[in-house]
């Protein structure tokens, strides 16, 4: 894929994996369209990318949970005369705990951001990529995509959607010049991880070998995206686990997950 004046739109770019993905894309010469609620953090990131990598960086601060946010975002992209070559659907929410005890509005917000916004943005930006004959879509899923995770029931289900959706589109778009990649990180050392560690005993018990550094995850995601791979699981331990759970009977995977989930809650 030619790199001249290509633009990557990255949601959830103000922190965590999205922030690191922005840095990696900038390092490789991509202009950026940065999306998140926190404008101050986006401005700092944009200035850093302009100064250190000589790329363009547009800040599109907005709440993706606002009514018709995907449509409004695409409208702002068009008004700025941006042509999106790479769409990175990174923005997402995670709630840990018993499903019946988490407020229903939190469940609705999670589904809206992790599923509806991701699918809507993809649908709105994909046709132009097909028309141009090239494009990349990177959807951030999770290793929880591969099995049920009690205490993360809705989050894991939403990421299973992201994985299935990405793989389906990857096949559907063969021959168009557009590829779709699902990035499936395991536990990653981000601000969200640190907060979850403080609030939940089970998160603090994750062995260090399964905890990835956010920069490593971003680089593996970038490389898989630009090379057109359908699925990438960063880190050898996580790849082994993701492969293993697909070999065991579902009742066994479900039972083991239940034991861990009940202990965590």
**Per-residue pLDDT reduced to its tens digit, 71-124:** 999 999 999 999 999 999 999 999 999 999 999 999 999 999 999 999 999 999
Is 155 an annotated catalytic residue? yes
What is the C-alpha separation between 21 and 132, in angstroms, rounded?
24
What is the C-alpha separation between 156 and 160, in angstroms, rounded?
6
Helix boundaries (H) for 113-249: 118-132, 153-172, 191-199, 201-204, 214-227, 236-244
Tokens of 213: 């550094």
Q: Distance of CA 48 to CAs 52, 72, 226, Å?
A: 6, 26, 23
Burial group, residue 171, by CB count within 10 angstroms (0-12, 13-18, 19+): exposed
pLDDT at residue number 242: 79
167-174 contacts, C-beta under 8 A, 24 or more apart: 167/230, 167/231, 169/122, 169/137, 170/230, 173/130
What is the C-alpha separation between 94 and 73, in angstroms, rounded?
23
CB 74 within 8 A of CB 121: yes
E strand or H helix at 220: helix 214-227
Tokens of 111: 């589904």
Tokens 């899923």 locate to 141
Domains and CATH numbers, the chain: 7-264 (3.40.50.720)
What is the C-alpha separation between 190 and 177, in angstroms, rounded?
33
Neighbours of 203 (CB within 10 A): 17
Tokens of 263: 């202990």
Tokens 């005993």 locate to 201
**Per-residue pLDDT reduced to its tens digit, 131-170:** 999 999 999 999 999 988 999 999 999 999 999 999 999 9
E strand or H helix at 181: strand 178-183
CB 188 within 8 A of CB 212: yes
CB 31 within 8 A of CB 9: no
pTM, two decimals, is: 0.89
**Per-residue pLDDT reduced to its tens digit, 184-207:** 998 877 665 455 544 545 544 555
pLDDT at residue number 106: 98
pLDDT at residue number 72: 98
């Amino acid at each position: 894929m030619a790199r001249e004046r290509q633009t990557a739109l990255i949601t959830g770019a103000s922190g965590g994996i999205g922030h690191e993905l922005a840095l990696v894309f900038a390092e490789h010469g991509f202009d950026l369209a940065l999306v998140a609620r926190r404008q101050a953090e986006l401005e700092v990131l944009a200035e850093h990318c302009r100064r250190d990598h000589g790329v363009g960086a547009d800040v599109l601060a907005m709440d993706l949970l606002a009514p018709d946010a995907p449509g409004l975002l695409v409208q702002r992209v068009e008004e700025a005369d941006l042509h999106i070559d790479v769409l990175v659907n990174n923005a997402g929410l995670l709630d840990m705990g018993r499903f019946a005890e988490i407020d229903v509005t939190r469940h609705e917000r999670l589904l809206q951001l992790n599923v509806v916004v991701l699918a809507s943005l993809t649908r709105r930006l994909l046709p132009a990529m097909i028309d141009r004959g090239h494009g990349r879509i990177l959807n951030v899923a999770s290793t929880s995509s591969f099995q049920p995770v009690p205490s993360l029931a809705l989050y894991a289900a939403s990421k299973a959607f992201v994985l299935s959706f990405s793989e389906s589109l990857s096949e559907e778009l063969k021959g168009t010049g557009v590829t779709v990649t699902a990035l499936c990180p395991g536990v990653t050392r981000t601000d969200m991880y640190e907060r979850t560690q403080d609030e939940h005993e089970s998160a603090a018990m994750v062995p260090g070998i399964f905890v990835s550094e956010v920069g490593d995850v971003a680089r593996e995601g970038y490389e898989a995206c630009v090379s057109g791979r359908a699925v990438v699981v960063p880190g050898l331990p996580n790849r082994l686990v993701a492969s293993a759970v697909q070999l065991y009977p579902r009742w066994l995977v479900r039972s083991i997950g239940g034991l861990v989930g009940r202990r965590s809650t």
